[in-house]
Structure formats: C-alpha cells, structure tokens
Amino acid sequence: MLIIDVKSNESISQALKRYKRKYRSTKIIKELRARKEYVKPTTKRRKQKLKAAYINEKYGTHV
C-alpha cells in the first residue's frame, strides 16, 4: 500500500502527481499484466534473447 503525506502548503493535484509517480516506480501495472496469463519459461527466455539481440544490434558497438 502506498502512503503519500500531503503537506500543508501542497495542492491536491501536486499530491496526486507524486502518488502517480510513486505508483509507476513500483511497477505494479507491469506485474499485473504479466500475471494475467501464463507464459511458458521457454517462451520467456526466447523473448529475453530476442530483446537482448535487438538492443545489442541497435546500441551495441558496430565493427
């Protein structure tokens, strides 16, 4: 559970903005989407390898 202390001179919109930022940083949404459906371990590993290859191709050193 996230707790946000609203300061006396702070508006509600600023406190809400802080809450949203804190919520995003906990990666709750990402975990919920991952748990929505089962993904086989081999599929997970394959996706990780493809992502790593893509990142290496895009940002890695080119000879």
Segment 7-20 shows an average pLDDT of 92
Q: Tell me, what's the pLDDT at 3?
A: 87
Q: What is the pTM of this model?
A: 0.50
Q: Is the pLDDT of residue 63 over 60?
A: no
Q: Are the C-beta atoms of 25 and 31 separated by less than 8 Å?
A: no
| CA atoms of 41 and 47, how far apart (whole Å) | 10
Enter the tokens of residue 31. 């975990």
Task: Report the mean per-residue pLDDT for the chain.
Answer: 90
Q: Which residue has the higher pLDDT, 35 or 63?
A: 35
| CA atoms of 49 and 40, how far apart (whole Å) | 14
